[in-house]
Amino acid sequence: MKRVIALLMENQPGALSRVVGLFSQRGYNIESLIVAPTEDPSLSRLTMTTEGDTQVVEQITKQLNKLIDVVKVLDLSFEEYVGRELLLIKMEFSEEAEAEVSNLGGQVLFKDDNLLNVEFVGASEELDEIVTSLAKLNPLEVVRTGLSGISSTTKTLTI
């Protein structure tokens, strides 16, 4: 089962490598990982997706909590949550391509006679579909940020 874990950690050198290291060290998989400082500059927020049954993910959560740099962990898979990621695509410019992008709800970020850069924001499954439907236009490069999430209950991941 796919799991989404969000956590707050000290915004300090070494903190991220401890979190990432924990995964390889204990044989867990990271599917995607996204991290950035928060509005409180002493904290970073990290969201990762991983695969595993309940017992494995419970163990991952506990091990993450054990890291001294990790301040708080929330397993979003146990919550109602919204997850979004950003998809950036570069393709050769054509009117047909531009029309298709706007048809699929994308935004054009850059265009000239040769190239088109576009963005899509959405849930991972939506972006999967967009990538599939744009495949026929032979995109030159496809980039995804990985999932970021926030719970849609009153439970917050804040300190």
Partner 1 sequence: MSKEKLSGAEALMRSLQDEGIELVFGYPGGASLHIYDALFNQQAVQHVLVRHEQGAVHAADGYARSTGKAGVVFVTSGPGATNAITGLATAHMDSTPVIVISGQVKSHLIGTDSFQETDMIGVSRPIVKHSFLAQRAEDIPMIVKKAFHIATTGRPGPVVIDIPKDVTDPDYKFDYSYPKDIDIRSYKPVEEGHSGQIRKAAKLLLKSERPVIYSGGGVIQNDASEELTSLVKYLDFPVTNTLMGLGAYPGTDKNFLGMLGMHGTYEANMAMHNCDLILAVGARFDDRITNDPAQFALGAKKIHIDIDPASLSKIIKVDVPIVGSAKTCLDQLLNELKKNESKLDKNKIEPWRKQIKEWRKEHGLNHRMLKDASNSKKILPQHVIQSLYKETKGDAYVTSDVGQHQMFAAQYYHFDKPRRWINSGGLGTMGFGLPAAMGVQLAFPNSTVACVTGEGSIQMCIQELSTCLQYDLPIKIINLNNSSLGMVKQWQDMQYGGRLSQSTYEDSLPDFVKLTESFGHVGIKVEKPEDLESAMKKCFELKDKLVFLDIVIDEDEHVYPMLEAGMAMDSMWLDKKTKTWK
Contact footprint for partner 1 (CB under 8 A) = 9-10, 13-14, 17-18, 21, 25, 55, 58-59, 62-63, 65-66, 68-72, 159
The answer to whether residues 4 and 80 touch, using CB atoms and an 8 Å cutoff, is no
Cβ at position 2, least distance to partner 1 in Å: 22
The answer to whether residues 76 and 31 touch, using CB atoms and an 8 Å cutoff, is no
Helix (H, G, I), strand (E, B) or coil at 67: coil
Residues 82, 87, 89: CA angle, nearest 5 degrees: 165
Nearer to partner 1 among residue 62 and residue 155 (C-beta): 62
d(CA 140, CA 157): 38
Cβ at position 75, least distance to partner 1 in Å: 14
Cβ at position 17, least distance to partner 1 in Å: 7
Nearer to partner 1 among residue 11 and residue 124 (C-beta): 11
Nearer to partner 1 among residue 19 and residue 33 (C-beta): 19
Cβ at position 155, least distance to partner 1 in Å: 19
Nearer to partner 1 among residue 59 and residue 152 (C-beta): 59
Number of other residues whose CB lies within 10 A of the CB of residue 12: 12
Question: Considering Cα of 80, then 86, then 91, then 94, what sign does the dihedral take?
Answer: positive
